[in-house]
Amino acid sequence: MQHLETRNHLFFGCDYSSSLWYKLMNVFMGNGYSEEWIDVVLFIQKPNLDRTRSFLVRYVFQATIYMIWRERNCRRHGERPQSPEVLFAMIDRLVKNRIMSIRAQDRRLDCAFQLWIKAVQA
């Protein structure tokens, strides 16, 4: 069945993107977990998130949007679909690389790597 390609469907209403989003953000969002675009946007804007968690939530959101959009475009151009697990691994690598690149510059984010590992293994 072909769904209407809307922002809300693509991010995170379809089974593909919702399973990916859940695996990435369930721990970070806790009781506030949602797959609704407006709820996600409101969550990432919360002023009461600590610096490390705020960085991770926002960066994971950005990386996930990018990778889902990239996957959508690849499919539209006839490339073979990637599984959500493959996209998860790619996002995981992006996040780890970003943490490692900024950790030396901002010591306040020292615990980001451990927090990320703990969140995605839960």
With 90 as the cut, is the pLDDT of residue 43 above it? yes
Specify the pLDDT at position 110: 81
pLDDT digits (tens, 9 = 90+) for 82-111: 999 999 999 999 999 999 988 778 777 889
Structurally, how many domains does the chain consist of?
1
Q: Tell me if 2 is assigned to some domain.
A: no
Specify the pLDDT at position 92: 97
With 60 as the cut, is the pLDDT of residue 1 above it? no
Instruction: State the chain's mean pLDDT as an integer.
Output: 92
Give the residue from 13, 23, 98 showing the smallest Cα distance to 63.
Answer: 98
The answer for 43, left when phi > 0, alpha when psi is -120 to 50, beta otherwise, is alpha
CA atoms in the 13 A half-sphere facing the CB of 88: 17
With 90 as the cut, is the pLDDT of residue 69 above it? yes
Contact assessment for residue 110 and residue 82, using Cβ atoms and an 8 Å cutoff: no
Alpha helices in the chain (DSSP H): 7-8, 15-29, 37-44, 51-76, 84-103, 112-121
Q: pTM to 2 decimals?
A: 0.91
CA distance to 11, 66, 76, 82, per residue, from 72 (Å): 11, 10, 6, 10
Q: Tell me if 94 is assigned to some domain.
A: yes
What range defines the domain where residue 93 resides?
7-121
Q: Tell me if 72 is assigned to some domain.
A: yes
Give 45's pLDDT tier (boundaries 50, 70, 90).
very high
Q: Tell me if 1 is assigned to some domain.
A: no
